[in-house]
Amino acid sequence: MIQQAAVIGAGVMGHGIAQLYAQAGIPVFLYDLEENYLEKARKAIKANLILQVQRGVLTEVESERAVACITYTTDLEEAVRTADFVTEAIPEVIEWKWELYEKLESCMKPTAVIASNTSTIPVSRLAEKMSTPERMMITHFFNPAQLVPLVEVVRHERTEEKIVQTTMEVMRMIGKSPVLLKKEVPGFIANRLQAAVVREALHLLEEGVAEAKDIDLAVTEGPGFRWAFIGPIETADFGGLDTWKRVVDNLAPELSQSRQAPEFLNTLVDAGHLGAKSGQGIYEYEEISVSEKIKERDDKFIELLKVKQR
């Protein structure tokens, strides 16, 4: 099993992924281009660990051990030279990724795995310019990476079976619930399902069927409540496939068939109303800071995680 990990990119996803390796007792290098990015990551990880200690997910000793497992660096070769498993978590710009992979292949161990956290780029495209595509994987984490259990795993057609199995084992070792895709599809599994629900939610809002808060409530207090433990396919099994056949037959023609974002969403984005990060989106966030909102979200995620772990 792996003795050393590295995470390339210390942003929103990268620092959470590095924290997971550290919590599992795996020494990890966290790399980014500039020291100020690493300092932000260091503060975010500290805040995450404090919150988990306060909520009883980690002990003080476990938190201190995790901190000691992370080495921050702006030296790419130092970060990956001894790593057995390297996670790439840089922005979704294919040219940047190709450039990085070329550098990684020149300084990584020949047995090391390269795993991208991409949420949108096919693994065949990622490995297009690689000389060793057989060690390329996708491990798609979900934000916040340190809390959400799911990781979607996608293999390249030339990826060796032992690398696939190592990747699945590593994900389980750091406390994740990995799912292995049997074929490459845009958006993988979870984002396709999310996009379908969001498209219909935005359609209902655009049509004036209900207020945004009530549409959200209809999900969190209904399907979302069930989906935390049984997915949509098992829900259909429990409800009866004959019943769900009628539901789909009756509703499919009525659902949104839109092939692009609704116009009101384009208007909000053009006006700079981007949601919590800008202080206004479909909801307004003037009376609460984004950091407070994120802490509130993570508090609830931790409580749900504790329930699921029981």
Please write the tens of the pLDDT for every residue from 241-254.
999 999 999 999 99
Of residues 12 and 70, the one with the higher pLDDT is 70
Is 14 a known ligand-binding residue?
yes
Is 119 a known ligand-binding residue?
yes
Q: Which domains does the chain have, with CATH numbers?
A: 5-180 (3.40.50.720), 190-309 (1.10.1040.10)
Of residues 267 and 292, the one with the higher pLDDT is 267
Is 9 a known ligand-binding residue?
yes
The pLDDT score that the predictor gives to residue 78 is 97
Give the bridge partners for 86, in sequence order. 6, 114
Is 148 a known ligand-binding residue?
no
Is 191 a known ligand-binding residue?
no
Joined together, the tokens standing for residue 69 give 């497992």
Is 92 a known ligand-binding residue?
yes
Is 11 a known ligand-binding residue?
yes
Contacts of 117 (CB under 8 A, 6+ apart): 9, 13, 14, 17, 87, 88, 89, 138, 139, 140, 141
- Rounded to an integer, what distance in angstroms lies between the CA atom of residue 239 and that of residue 244? 7
Q: Which residue is listed with tokens 């206004």?
A: 280
Summarize the confidence of residues 38-59 as an average pLDDT: 95
Is 97 a known ligand-binding residue?
yes
Q: How is the beta sheet containing 5-8 ordered, strand by strand?
A: 70-73, 28-31, 5-8, 85-88, 113-116, 136-141, 150-155, 177-180
Cα 50 → chain centroid: 21
Helices (H), the chain: 14-23, 35-54, 60-68, 76-80, 94-107, 123-126, 161-173, 190-206, 212-220, 223-227, 232-239, 241-251, 263-270, 290-309
Does the predicted model carry a pTM greater than 0.75?
yes
Is 32 a known ligand-binding residue?
yes
Is 277 a known ligand-binding residue?
yes
The pLDDT score that the predictor gives to residue 131 is 93
Closest CA to 115 of 159, 70, 69: 159
The pLDDT score that the predictor gives to residue 302 is 93
Is 216 a known ligand-binding residue?
no
Give per-residue burial for 259-275: e unless 16+ CB within 10 Å, then b: eeebeebeebeeeebee
Confidence band for 287, pLDDT divided at 50, 70 and 90:
low
- Rounded to an integer, what distance in angstroms lies between the CA atom of residue 234 and that of residue 248? 15
Mean pLDDT, all residues of the chain: 94
The pLDDT score that the predictor gives to residue 289 is 74
Is 10 a known ligand-binding residue?
yes
* Cis ω for the linkage preceding 223 (within 30 of 0): no
Confidence band for 146, pLDDT divided at 50, 70 and 90:
very high
Contact 149, 127 (CB under 8 A): no
